[in-house]
């Protein structure tokens, strides 16, 4: 809704035009007993997000089913989206645009995607980014295929702490093509055990996710060193790009290819979709990159312009030289994330990332003080694992009945993870929300 403020002079001018001497005269036709007496009892100034919460609380008083408090992440994250994003995205130039095959009539779309590529390359510390892929899972699979093309090898290794769904997608892509896949275990600290890489020959790539699936920050520098010693490429995957507002970028730590999910940058969770596959690499590998790339050029008159270039799939070149069969990019989602990054800026991303980190550390410390276990010692970002006493399944269900989702049970993804839950905290959770979670858990266990 647009907000159009008027000055006293504006109001006086409008009253003069309609022939009224005052606002009271303007509303004189309304009976006295139907008018508000005195000033409206409005609260003091609040932020946009606090106002949204206030309106939600008012609406909830009439709702049949109250909202759940959800402490879930695991690859899909709830973040506040600036009003600038939803407003700009509603403009028809963006919402109705499609494949920019004809640059002479697609300059706006091409420039928007070019800006997105620039932001992604800066965020990830890489030389070049493409115009996006479908989602984080397909981006990781395409990254491994790209590494195989670069090295001419069909053996890859990836961490068991990469998102379980991503690993399933990778196997769906690679196993029918005859790839040998090595899955690396994890340590008691909650990071990938890289010792198994020593002595492996013929390895095309090593893939590690940071922050990993259980929220821990991986040692990408060590992973890069071991991968390069084995003459292979390091692929840095991610599900939460906001972490790079606080931690060093994958490119700065030696990654050759960086890929992951960009949903948390301005894209609503929306029942699991759509997603955004971010993909970037070093410049020397650009001709092996899948998908499309928008480039900036000049026409014959020297005027700057944008074109679709290096779109090396079967439709454009001979099949044997194609880098992928990716048919399109997540164009609208990519532009959305560019709007989000532009709205926050570099300092905004740092501030927001720090807020996410601080809030998750607060909840982690409160749970620890309450007597609950934090099994992994590695640094985390906005997710971490908590270990509850025996009988956690019944407690989890009891909290669900109270409209509180206490994280993601990990027992279905990893053996030895019984009674362990992955909790996620973003800027959308208040201190009251976190204290309530701790209080409910303590009450369930009579602590």
Q: Would you state the pLDDT for residue 371?
A: 95
Of all residues in the chain, what percent carry a pLDDT higher than 90? 71
Under 8 Å CB-to-CB from 23, ≥6 apart: which residues? 11, 15
**Taking 60 as the threshold, does the pLDDT of residue 55 lie above it?**
yes
The pLDDT assigned to 32 comes to: 84
Residue 104 has which token pair? 């002479």
Please check whether residue 418 is in contact with residue 109, taking contact to mean a CB–CB distance below 8 angstroms.
no
Give pLDDT, residue 63. 56
Lowest-confidence region among 2-6, 393-397, 419-423: 2-6
pLDDT, residue 62, reads 65
Q: Which of 117, 423, 160 is nearest to 277 (CA)?
A: 117
Query: What's the burial of 257, exposed, middle or buried (CB within 10 Å: 0-12/13-18/19+)?
Result: buried
CB 113 within 8 A of CB 334: yes
pLDDT for the residue 439 = 96
Model confidence at 98, pLDDT cuts 50, 70, 90, reads low
Cα 134 from Cα 328, distance rounded (Å): 8
DSSP symbol at 236: E
Q: Is a pLDDT exceeding 80 seen at residue 248?
A: yes
Give the whole-angstrom CA distance, residue 118 versus residue 273: 24
Cα of 180 vs its chain's centroid, Å:
30
Query: Is the preceding omega at residue 211 within 30 degrees of 0, hence cis?
Result: yes
End-to-end CA distance of the chain: 47
Banded model confidence at residue 311, pLDDT cuts 50, 70, 90: low
pLDDT of 133-176, one tens digit each?
A: 999 999 999 999 999 999 999 999 999 999 999 999 999 999 99
Report the top-level CATH class of 69-81+345-444.
alpha beta
Give the whole-angstrom CA distance, residue 286 versus residue 330. Answer: 19
**156 near 144, Cβ under 8 Å?**
yes
Give pLDDT tens digits for 191-241. 999 999 988 899 999 999 999 999 999 999 999 999 999 999 999 999 999
**Is a pLDDT exceeding 90 seen at residue 299?**
no
Q: What is the per-residue pLDDT across 177-187, written as a single tens digit (0 to 9) for each?
A: 999 999 999 99
Q: How many angstroms separate the CA atoms of 1 and 48, rounded? A: 13
Q: Which of 285, 275, 329 is nearest to 97 (CA)?
A: 329
In a 3-state reduction of DSSP, which class is residue 85?
A: helix
Give the confidence band of 1 by pLDDT, cuts at 50, 70, 90.
Answer: very low
| pLDDT per position as a tens digit, 252-271 | 999 999 999 999 999 999 88
- Pairing, β 277-281 against β 293-298: unpaired
The answer to whether the beta carbons of residues 258 and 248 sit under 8 Å apart is no
CATH fold group of domain 83-341? 3.40.640
Count Cβ atoms below 10 Å from residue 173 Cβ, excluding itself.
17
**What mean pLDDT comes out for the span 35-42?**
80
Q: What are phi and psi of 388, to 5 degrees?
A: -100, 155
pTM of the model: 0.85
Whether the per-residue pLDDT at 281 is higher than 60: the answer is yes
Own/partner pairs, 57-66, CB within 8 angstroms, 24+ separation = 66/403
- Across 17-131, the runs of DSSP E, i.e. the strands, are 69-70, 128-129
Mean pLDDT across 377-403 = 95
Query: What stretch(es) of the chain map to CATH 3.90.1150.10?
Result: 69-81+345-444
Beta bridge partners of 258: 236, 280
Is 269:240 a contact under the CB 8 Å cutoff? no
């Amino acid at each position: 809704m647009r907000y159009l403020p008027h000055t006293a002079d504006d109001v006086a001018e409008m009253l003069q035009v309609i022939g009224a001497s005052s606002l009271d005269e303007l509303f004189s036709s309304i009976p006295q007993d139907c008018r508000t007496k005195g000033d409206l009892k409005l609260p003091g100034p609040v932020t946009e997000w606090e106002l949204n919460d206030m309106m939600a609380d008012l609406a909830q008083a009439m709702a049949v089913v109250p909202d759940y408090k959800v402490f879930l992440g695991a690859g899909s994250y709830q973040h506040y989206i600036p009003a600038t994003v939803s407003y700009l995205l509603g403009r028809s130039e963006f919402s109705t645009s499609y494949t920019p095959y004809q640059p002479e009539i697609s300059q706006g779309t091409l420039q928007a995607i070019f800006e997105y590529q620039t932001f992604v390359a800066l965020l990830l510390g890489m030389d070049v980014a493409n115009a996006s892929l479908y989602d984080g899972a397909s981006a990781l699979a395409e990254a491994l295929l790209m590494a195989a093309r670069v090295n001419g090898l069909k053996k890859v290794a990836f961490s068991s702490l990469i998102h379980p769904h991503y690993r399933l997608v990778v196997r769906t892509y690679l196993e029918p093509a005859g790839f040998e896949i090595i899955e690396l275990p994890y340590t008691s600290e909650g990071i990938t055990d890289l010792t198994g890489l020593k002595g492996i020959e013929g390895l095309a790539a090593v893939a590690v996710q940071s922050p990993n699936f259980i929220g821990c920050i991986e040692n990408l520098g060590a992973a890069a060193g071991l991968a390069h010693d084995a003459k292979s490429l390091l692929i840095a995957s991610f599900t939460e790009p906001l972490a790079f507002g606080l931690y060093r970028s994958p490119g700065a730590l030696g990654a050759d290819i960086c890929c992951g999910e960009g949903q948390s940058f301005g894209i609503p969770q929306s029942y699991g979709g759509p997603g955004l596959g971010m993909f970037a690499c070093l410049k020397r590998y650009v001709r092996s990159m899948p998908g499309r790339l928008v480039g900036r050029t000049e026409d014959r008159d020297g005027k700057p312009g944008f074109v679709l270039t290096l779109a090396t799939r079967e439709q454009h070149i001979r099949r044997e030289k194609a880098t992928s069969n990716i048919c399109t990019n997540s164009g609208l989602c990519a532009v959305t994330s560019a709007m989000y990054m532009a709205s926050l800026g570099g300092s905004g991303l740092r501030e927001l990332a720090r807020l996410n980190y601080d809030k998750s550390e607060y909840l982690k410390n409160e749970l620890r003080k309450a007597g609950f276990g934090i099994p992994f010692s590695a640094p985390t970002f906005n997710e971490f694992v908590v270990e509850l006493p025996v009988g956690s399944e019944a407690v989890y269900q009891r909290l669900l009945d109270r409209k509180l989702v206490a994280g993601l049970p990990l027992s279905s993804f990893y053996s030895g993870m019984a009674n362990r839950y992955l909790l996620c905290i973003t800027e959308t959770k208040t201190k009251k929300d976190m204290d309530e979670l701790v209080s409910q858990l303590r009450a369930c266990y009579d602590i």
